[in-house]
Chain A
Amino acid sequence: KQEVTQIPAALSVPEGENLVLNCSFTDSAIYNLQWFRQDPGKGLTSLLLIQSSQREQTSGRLNASLDKSSGRSTLYIAASQPGDSATYLCAVSRQAGTALIFGKGTTLSVSS
């Protein structure tokens, strides 16, 4: 059974700091991995999607990497801003587009 773990559960950093969020999964037979952002009481916003054949994806200040063999992904946020404060969720799928297995998320707080 696939399990997804995100460490740490919460993280507080000052504005401008570079940071890394971690995601690990127990079954390396994944189709893709997605990182989402969730603001309090809101839905999920897709940040980055990495196909199983890819090693990393970048969007602006965000960079996500994937190491399938070790069951790990990292989300790197450069030059953090208070607007980055949110919960970041990692999810993997076994087949295309469906049945994502989510981690519990990392709640990030960036202070100005």
Chain B
Amino acid sequence: KAGVTQTPRYLIKTRGQQVTLSCSPISGHRSVSWYQQTPGQGLQFLFEYFSETQRNKGNFPGRFSGRQFSNSRSEMNVSTLELGDSALYLCASSLVQGAPTGELFFGEGSRLTVL
């Protein structure tokens, strides 16, 4: 059974550009969450999608957005990139929102470098 797949794995952008990251959850999983990991702040929750609807949102500016498609695949977008957006962006999936176990399974991440 394939795990959570994130693309691209690495990318370099310059300030002011925008970026789109993609996440394919484990087959059958309908909930997708996004997290940002930086050395200073650690792992921080960005947002969570279930059935194409954003259910939860973390404390990030509006430059960070996302969406989920009918096949549960998700994308996140960061516009007007800043140096501080350099981070490892991790996607996680779970079977359903409100599942009894609530266990999350993470992908390998997309490492974004902003120059």
Interface residues of A (CB under 8 A from B): 31-32, 34, 36, 41-46, 49, 51, 89, 91, 93, 95-105
Q: Is the interface of B mostly helix, strand, loop or mixed?
A: strand
Please determine whether A102 and B97 come into contact, CB atoms closer than 8 angstroms: no
Q: A43-B108, A89-B43, A103-B42 are in contact. Are A97 and B58 (CB under 8 A)?
A: no
- B23-35 CB contact bits vs A (8 Å, 1 = yes)? 0000000010101
Neighbour of B106 across the interface among A31, A45, A98, CB < 8 A: A45
Please determine whether B102 and A31 come into contact, CB atoms closer than 8 angstroms: yes
Please determine whether B56 and A43 come into contact, CB atoms closer than 8 angstroms: no
Q: Which residue of A lies closest to B48 (CB)?
A: A98
User: Chain A residues near B33 (CB, 8 Å)?
Assistant: 98-100
Question: A34 CA to B104 CA in the complex, in Å?
Answer: 9
Question: A22 CA to B23 CA in the complex, in Å?
Answer: 32
8 Å CB contacts to A: which residues of B58-78? Answer: 58
* Interface check B90, CB cutoff 8 A: yes
Please determine whether B56 and A98 come into contact, CB atoms closer than 8 angstroms: yes
Question: A89 CA to B106 CA in the complex, in Å?
Answer: 13
Q: How far is the CB of B22 from chain A (nearest CB, A)?
A: 15
